[in-house]
Amino acid sequence: MKFINNVDEDKFNDFVKQNSSSFMQTSYFGKINQAKGLKYFLVGLEDNGKLVATAMILEKHLISNYNYLYIPRGFIANFNDFNLLKTFTDYLKDFGKKKKAIFIAIDPEIILSIDDNKFNQDLITNFKKLNFNHLGFNYYFENRQPRYTYCLDLKENLSDNFHSTTKKIYNRGNIYNIEIVKGDINDISSFHNLMLETGNRNQAVFFSQDYYQNFYQIFHEQNMSDLYLAKVNIPNLISIYENKIKEIKMNLAKIKKESKKNDLNEQLLKYQKELTEIKEIKEEEVILSSIITVKFNDKVWTVHGGNSNKLRFLNANYWLYFKIIDDAFNDGYKKIDFFGTIGKEDKNNHEYGIHLFKKRLGGNKIEYIGEFDLVLNKLIYFLYKKVYNKIRYRKKS
């Protein structure tokens, strides 16, 4: 077998597409990270001139001449072929040492469980035999990529798998006239503003506007990404609320039963309170929610998304997801990945609300195998992990 340290880009991407659904292992994701100042490499292993394994590798500088290498959601190979795994690992070690890497981090797209039904337990053992250090079974977002996600199989009857709460919103219809549109590069600024609001509200990590612009543009040029926006027209919304309030008052005048009157009075107070909030908005149109998707192979991911602090009672994010799911089905995709959730039902976790929202969309809960480090310099690695864990602990505190 022959190791190639600069695989032709088209050949590389074709192999990834044929053997994986990991968009993070394409050269396009490498280019996105290159725009952040990282180097990327397309390497592979050939057997009789045919690719049998590939890795899109990111080089991240640490201190002095030291760095580490990261293979996001990869590498790509037949993980059940131990000899192939060993051969490629040995070549990756040599490649890493030449780059003065202290370790190589991987988090392969290997499913460990679907709705708690276990798979691929033996692969952890195989990686350990090759001196990969498994970083454990984390439940939250401690690692570079989420270890848990929800993935929905797409079918004609959109609401079949929805939770009852989601079905109620869907069946009620788009009564507030939330408009869902596909934006373009000119809407990235608005998208970034929503990401800032969401990040500050949920203690979540967000990136620069330039990052999101490059992410969208590079993938969109390959027809691999869309930018969705959920908008509402404020004058129209005020009119809808005023008509609803008028209708409730008319019904109150007709009804004599006290229990029904109490229900209607509660509705009236709710609508009046929400209308007050709506009238405080000076803009004619407001963007309430936005998502950048990635489309690769038979799957669509809702990768980056943000929601405004304004008018959250309108459930605009639900209508945004309904549209993305519907478009994905109509475009022939088989699955939609909601890109990350928590592994434990912890109501005190700041990500619990996002987890509950994704769960209510009705997909299967997927658990991935997790992260491994292939250590190339034990002393520097030990020092790096000591410093890294201190920094991470401070961030959590």
pLDDT value of residue 389: 63
What is the arithmetic mean of pLDDT over 280-286? Answer: 97
- Greatest pairwise CA separation for the chain in angstroms: 85
| Domain 2-135+370-396 shares a fold with domain 149-227+283-366 | yes
pLDDT value of residue 256: 81
Integer-rounded Cα Rg, in Å, for the chain is: 24
Token readout for 160 is: 């079949």
- Is the confidence at residue 259, as pLDDT, over 90? no
> What is the b/e burial string over 179-212, where b = at least 16 CB atoms within 10 angstroms of the residue's CB?
bbeebeeebbebbbebbebbeeebeeebeeeebb
Q: Which residue has better confidence, 66 or 233?
A: 233
Helix (H, G, I), strand (E, B) or coil at 80: coil
What is the arithmetic mean of pLDDT over 90-102? Answer: 97
Helices first, then strands: H and E counts in the chain: 12, 16
**pLDDT band for position 394 (cuts 50, 70, 90):** very low
pLDDT value of residue 201: 81
Helix (H, G, I), strand (E, B) or coil at 76: strand
**pLDDT band for position 337 (cuts 50, 70, 90):** very high
- Is the confidence at residue 392, as pLDDT, over 60? no
pTM for this predicted structure? 0.93
Provide the residue ranges of all domains of the chain, joining segments of one domain with +: 2-135+370-396, 149-227+283-366
- Is the confidence at residue 21, as pLDDT, over 70? yes
- Is the confidence at residue 395, as pLDDT, over 80? no
- Each residue of 97-108: pLDDT tens digit? 999 999 999 999
- Each residue of 157-184: pLDDT tens digit? 888 889 999 999 999 999 999 999 999 9
pLDDT value of residue 391: 52
pLDDT value of residue 384: 86
- Each residue of 178-216: pLDDT tens digit? 999 999 999 999 999 999 998 888 767 789 999 999 999
| Domain 2-135+370-396 fold | Aminopeptidase (3.40.630)
> What are the backbone angles phi and psi of residue 209, rounded to the nearest 5°?
-60, -40
Distance set, CA 161 to CA 125, 151, 156, 337, 361 (Å): 35, 12, 11, 14, 7
- Is the confidence at residue 396, as pLDDT, over 80? no
CATH architecture of 149-227+283-366: 3-Layer(aba) Sandwich (3.40)
Distance, CA of 217 to chain centre: 17
Residues of the chain with pLDDT > 70, as a percent, come to 96
Is 291:302 a contact under the CB 8 Å cutoff?
Answer: yes
Residue 389: strand pairing partners: none
Q: How far apart are CA 134 and CA 124, in angstroms?
A: 8
pLDDT value of residue 243: 97
Computed over every residue of the chain, the mean pLDDT equals: 94
What is the arithmetic mean of pLDDT over 30-38? Answer: 96
**pLDDT band for position 22 (cuts 50, 70, 90):** very high
Host H or E run for residue 261: helix 258-279
> What are the backbone angles phi and psi of residue 361, rounded to the nearest 5°?
-80, -10
Residue 57: strand pairing partners: 41
- Each residue of 48-72: pLDDT tens digit? 999 999 999 999 998 888 899 999 9
pLDDT value of residue 62: 87
